[in-house]
Copies of this chain bind each other. A is one copy, B any other.
Amino acid sequence: MNFTINKRYFYEKLSVVSRAISVFSPLPAFSGVKIDVSATQIVLTGSDSDISIRSTILPDEDNQLTINDIGSIVIEAKYILEIVRKIEGDVIEIEILDDTLTRISGTNAQFKINGMKSTDYPAIDFSQPRESFQISSEVLKEIITQTSFATSDRETRPVLTGVNFSCQDHQLQCVATDSYRLAKKLVPIDATVSFNITIPSKSLQEVLKSIGEEENVTLYVDHKKAQFLIDHTIIQTRLIDGAYPETSRLIPADFSYELRIDSRELLNAIDRASFIKNDGVYIIKFSLDGSECILSSSSAEVGSSMEVLSNAEFKGDHLNVSCNGRYVFEALKALKPGEIVFHLCGEMKPFTIHTDGDDSVLMLVVPLRTYA
C-alpha cells in the first residue's frame, strides 16, 4: 500500500469516519480507521458496530490522490488523526513498510506507526436497503435538532432512546418522547415509500455532525438498518427493535387556554431560575391570570424566584401550571425563535408548544404536581 494525498482533504475524511469510532469499543480493531486502497480509489471505514461510516475517495484535483500500490491496513484513529493534523506539507505519503508498520511522511517529518491487519477488522455489510428517498440537508438537520432532544436517556424502554421515523402517503412523521414530553415533526416527502423505523438518537447525532453544505441526503431504509448517503460518505446505523408507542392520542385536539410569549424572553426567564433545584430538577410554575403571566420557582434549600413576564399574552380564565423547567427550555430551544404559542387544557393536563405560524413542529409537556 502506498499513496500520496492532500493533507487537509485526507484529514477531513479521516475526521468524518472517526466519528463512528468509540473509545469504549471492546474490539481493538474498532478503535482504528480501516484504509482500503484499490487501483482506483481509497475507502476509509470507521465503526463501533452500532454505527458505521464509510467514505470513498476517488482521485481528483481537489484531493491530489495518487495511488502507487494497493493494500489495506487499520490504524489507531487517535494516532493517525493526530499525525495528519499536525504534520507539515501540502501532500503527504502513506505507505506500508513491513506487514503492519506504516509510514506517514510530510515535508521534514516522518512517523512509523504500528497498525493492525485489516483481516482482523470485522466485516461490515454496507449493502443498500431497498426503500429510499431524498431529503434536503437543511430539513434533515431540523428533524434531528427538533426531535432527538426529547428521546429518553434510560435503557429501561430501549425504543424510547430513538426517534421514530414513519412514512406513508408522502408524509414523513418523526417523533421522540421520553414519556414526560414529546416532540413531533412532519415533513412532506416526494417519493412513494412506506416504513416505520426507530433510529438511535446517538446515531442521529453523528449524522448531524456529518451534514455539511450538501444539497441533498439520500436515506435508504429497511427493517434492519438505515443508511444516510451524503456525497461519497455512507453513514449506516442499526435500528432499535420493538414497536414504537402510538403517540397521536396523547396530543390534545382541543384547548381551553392560550399563552403567547416571545421565545427569547421566556428562555431567559427560565434560565435565570434554573439553579433553584429540588433533587436536581428545577420546577417552574406559570401563574396565569387575566392578562398577567408570572413565572416562579422555589426550593426549600436554595430559596425562590418570581418574575413577571411583561410581554406575555394570556387568553382564558385563571390557571396555574407547574412543570419541569428543562422540558420547556429544551422545547423552546428546538423551536424556531419568535412568538411561541402554548395551548393548555388544565392544571394537570399535557400542554402543547409551537411557533406561531409553523404547524410542522409540535412539542408536548406533561405538567407536574407541586405542593408549594
Contacts and interface: CB of A to CB of B under 8 A. Distances in A.
Nearest to A88: B268
Interface stretch (A110-118, A127-135, A325-333, A338-346): A110-118
A357 interface: no
Given A78-B275, A79-B275, A275-B79, A269 B114 contact: no
28 contacts: A76-B302, A78-B275, A79-B275, A79-B302, A79-B303, A83-B275, A86-B271, A86-B272, A88-B268, A101-B303, A108-B307, A108-B308, A108-B310, A109-B305, A109-B307, A109-B308, A110-B305, A110-B307, A111-B276, A111-B303, A111-B304, A111-B306, A112-B304, A113-B302, A113-B303, A114-B301, A114-B302, A114-B303
Interface string A251-277: 000000000000000001101100110
Closest 9 CB pairs of A and B: A109-B307, A113-B303, A86-B272, A111-B305, A82-B275, A112-B303, A108-B308, A112-B304, A114-B303
Contacts of A306: 109-111
A303 to B, nearest CB: 4
Interface of A: 76, 78-79, 82-83, 86-88, 101, 108-114, 268-269, 271-272, 275-276, 301-310
Q: Is the interface of A mostly helix, strand, loop or mixed?
A: mixed
Contacts of A304: 111-112
A247 B109 CA distance: 37
B272 A83 contact: yes
Given A112-B303, A114-B302, 15 more contacts: A76-B302, A78-B275, A79-B275, A79-B302, A83-B275, A86-B268, A88-B268, A108-B309, A109-B305, A109-B306, A111-B304, A111-B306, A112-B304, A112-B305, A114-B301
Q: Give the copy number.
A: 2
Nearest to A308: B108
A113 B276 CA distance: 9
Nearest to A274: B82
A314 B308 CA distance: 72
Contacts of A79: 275, 302-303
A284 to B, nearest CB: 13
Given A114-B301, A301-B114, A302-B114, A272 B87 contact: yes
A211 to B, nearest CB: 29
Contacts of A108: 307-310
Contacts of A309: 108
Contacts of A112: 303-305
A286 to B, nearest CB: 15
B307 A272 contact: no
Contacts of A269: 109
A109 B305 CA distance: 7
Nearest to A87: B272
A108 B272 CA distance: 12
Contacts of A301: 114
Given A302-B79, A302-B114, A272 B109 contact: yes
A309 B83 CA distance: 17
Contacts of A113: 302-303
A304 B275 CA distance: 50
Nearest to A110: B306
A306 B88 CA distance: 13
